[in-house]
Amino acid sequence: QVQLVESGGGLVQAGGSLRLSCAASGRTFSTYAMGWFRQAPGKQREFVSAITRSGGSTYYADSVKGRFTISRDGAKNTVYLQMNSLKPEDTAVYYCAAHRYYRGSDPANYSSWGQGTQVTVSS
């Protein structure tokens, strides 16, 4: 399994931006599809975005489409989530996840997880 470490969370006003990073250990980063999920207090973990191993395809939840952008940098073994036009309802702990293949938006299909980074959007 790959080890994942998220960073970049914080407190931001509504309408602002943040960029989350997820650094992966090992030399096999390019063999993993990567995803971002989030979990707000009292709610289930939900899919935010995913990117295939090649980076050729990206996927987004309807709630973030047009505002968030996922990307990956193979040289840095890092996946990013650029979040623009943030809303209070985006407040959650954001998790990075990995699996050998892109298998949709179900968290159960991802085998490796980071520890999460808190994003708080104030109104």
pLDDT tens column, 46-91: 999 999 999 999 999 999 999 999 999 999 999 999 999 999 999 9
Q: What is the rounded distance in angstroms from the CA atom of residue 50 to the CA atom of residue 97?
A: 9
22 touches 94 (CB < 8 A): no
Classify strands 18-24 and 58-60 as parallel, antiparallel or unpaired. Answer: unpaired
> CA angle at residue 4 from 69 to 33, to 5 degrees?
55
Q: How confident is the model at residue 1 (pLDDT cuts 50, 70, 90)?
A: confident
81 by Cβ neighbours in 10 Å (0-12 / 13-18 / 19+) ranks as buried
| DSSP-assigned letter for residue 123 | -
Q: Tell me which residue has tokens 């047009």.
A: 66
- Each residue of 24-36: pLDDT tens digit? 997 788 899 999 9
